[in-house]
Amino acid sequence: MNPRGEYVKYDWITIFLYLALVAIGWINIYSASANEAIEPFSSFQEEYVKQLLWIGLSVLLIVVVLALDSKFYNRFGSIIYLVSLVSLLGLFVLGKNINGATSWYALGPASIQPSEFAKAATALALAKFISDIQTNIKSYKHQLQAFIIIALPALFIIPQPDPGSALVYAAFLFPLYREGLHFIYLLLGFFAAALFFGTLILGTTWISILIVLIAAFVFFWRRKKRPNLVRYGLISVICIGFAFSVNYIFNNVFEQRHRDRFNIVLGKETDSQGIGYNTNQSEIAIGSGGWTGKGWTQGTQTKGNFVPEQQTDYIFTTVGEEWGFVGSMVVIVLFILLIVRILSRAEQQKAQFNRIYGYSVAAILFIHFFVNIGMVTGLLPTIGIPLPFFSYGGSGLWGFTILLFIFVRLDASNTFYK
């Protein structure tokens, strides 16, 4: 019972998994950033010291997030979303440029990255919109509105430029699908991705021939049902057109560094010194871990700073090198347990708002987890997004903490909203 007389039951499993990931993350940040020349904890400039401070502050945030009434998030979802959009737009005026991206507000010695908080805000707004009694997910108008809610922050983030963070907004397709969005949207997304990579691998000529062949095959297979020849032709033409536009965009709109990242993963280029350096070094570091790794702070690749951005986006390489296959699997299992736990709690929510929000949290964590681990293990192109709770950085940690604990708060009450 909380002071308002409401029955509150926190999901300690989720909280425990969160704490475990944050703790393991910090241990690895320590290893990746500790400078042997300096006495441990002697300087505030050391990143593991700062991260410890960010972790302390997140405890404060958690208290605040849990102290608020669960109705607060439902009621103020739209306003939080608008504030978040303004903060993203404000970057174009007041933003601070770090490493070529204007994604930050300078607050004294620290920097705040609003895009990390926008995810939670968007999830709240989307949940509020879809759970509205007047919203029908099957209606094209409402679908369009939902897509606009999702796309606006992404569109503001892309030109920062931070396409990786913008990509994460694709995660919202999952809650939409859960709430009744036609499967064709996911399928379309999947086909578009497949065509995209297919075009890059095979080239426009071969992909066109392949499309026509598949269309012809399906057409003759189903000929007893008298399929519409025009429709098949149209779909083929659209697909081929898409392939050509991919080719055009890839060669004329993408910058060389983007092209390089794709070519490395597609195996079209191997350059372990230049553009493929990150992936190569990260594979070497992980691969040298063996079964049980080299031991904490004993990683030679970690010590030598061979992996760039190791305490942030590439933090998993430290796990791989120093804790080996066993340690890596522990981290992966922890992530999967957390996501599955959130999904299962989301399914048990009485309120649709809570469920949509929970699904959004699970989907966002999944996309981060999938893209990040895929990147460091060399399965996906280099897309710079952090590993939740693990990667160094105050904004990221706070953003994910808020995102997760709003759900913990909603789940604790698990009530209808009137």
Partner 1 sequence: MRKLLLLILVLVSGVVFASRLFYLQIYDTSFDKLSENNAIKIQYDYPQRGYIFDRNGKLLVSNQPSYDVMVIPREVKPLDTLEFCKLLKLTKEQFITKLEKARVYSPRLPSVVIPQLTKAEYAYLSEKMHKYEGFYIQKRSLRDYQIAHSANVLGYIAEVNNRIIENNPYYRMGDLIGMQGVEEQYEDVLRGVKGVKYTQKDRFNREIGPYKGGAFDTLPERGKDIVLTIESQLQSYGEELMINKRGGIVALEPSSGEILALVAAPNYDPALLVGRERSKNFTRLWYDTIARPLFDRVLKGEYPPGSPFKTLTGLIALQEGVIDTKEKVYCPHGYVYGRGRKLGCHSHVTPLAMEGGIANSCNAYFCTVYRRTIEKYPSPQEGIQNWHNHLKSFGLGDYLGYDLPIGSKGLIPDSTYYNRWYPERNWYATATISNAIGQGEVSLTPMQMVNFTATIANRGWYIKPHIIKNIKGVDTIPSEYNKKQYTTIDAKHFEPVVEGMHDVYRYGTASSLKIPEIEICGKTGTAENYTKIDGKRVQLTDHSVFVAFAPKDNPKIAIAVFVENGYWGSRWAGKIASLMIEKYIKGEITRTDLEKYVLEGSLMDEYAKPYSGEPFKINQ
Footprint on this chain of partner 1 (rule: CB under 8 A): 36, 174, 177-178, 180, 186, 281, 283-291, 298, 300-301, 303-306, 308, 320-321, 324-325, 328-329, 332-333, 336, 339-340, 343, 347, 359, 362-363, 366, 369-370, 373-374, 377-379
- Tell the smallest beta-carbon distance from residue 400 to partner 1 (Å): 17
Closest CB to partner 1 among residues 89, 383: 383
Closest CB to partner 1 among residues 114, 324: 324
Closest CB to partner 1 among residues 186, 212: 186
Q: How far apart are CA 8 and CA 69, in angstroms?
A: 11
- CB atoms under 10 Å from CB of 4, counted, come to 10
Name the strands in the sheet holding 110-112, side by side, starting at the edge strand that comes first in the sequence.
96-98, 101-107, 110-112
> Read out DSSP for 38-79?
S-TT--TTSHHHHHHHHHHHHHHHHHHHHHS-HHHHHHHHHH
Q: How far apart are CA 30 and CA 24, in angstroms?
A: 10
CA terminus-to-terminus distance, the chain:
20
3-class secondary structure, 104:
strand
Closest CB to partner 1 among residues 190, 220: 190
- Tell the smallest beta-carbon distance from residue 284 to partner 1 (Å): 5
Closest CB to partner 1 among residues 131, 301: 301
Is residue 128 within 8 Å of 407, Cβ to Cβ? no
Q: How far apart are CA 179 and CA 138, in angstroms?
A: 10
- Tell the smallest beta-carbon distance from residue 36 to partner 1 (Å): 7
Q: How far apart are CA 259 and CA 90, in angstroms?
A: 30
Is residue 402 within 8 Å of 65, Cβ to Cβ? yes
CA angle at 336 for the pair 20 and 67, rounded to the nearest 5°:
55
- Tell the smallest beta-carbon distance from residue 375 to partner 1 (Å): 11
Say which amino acid occupies 353: F
Closest CB to partner 1 among residues 111, 288: 288
- Tell the smallest beta-carbon distance from residue 306 to partner 1 (Å): 5
- Tell the smallest beta-carbon distance from residue 366 to partner 1 (Å): 6
- Tell the smallest beta-carbon distance from residue 256 to partner 1 (Å): 23
Closest CB to partner 1 among residues 103, 280: 280
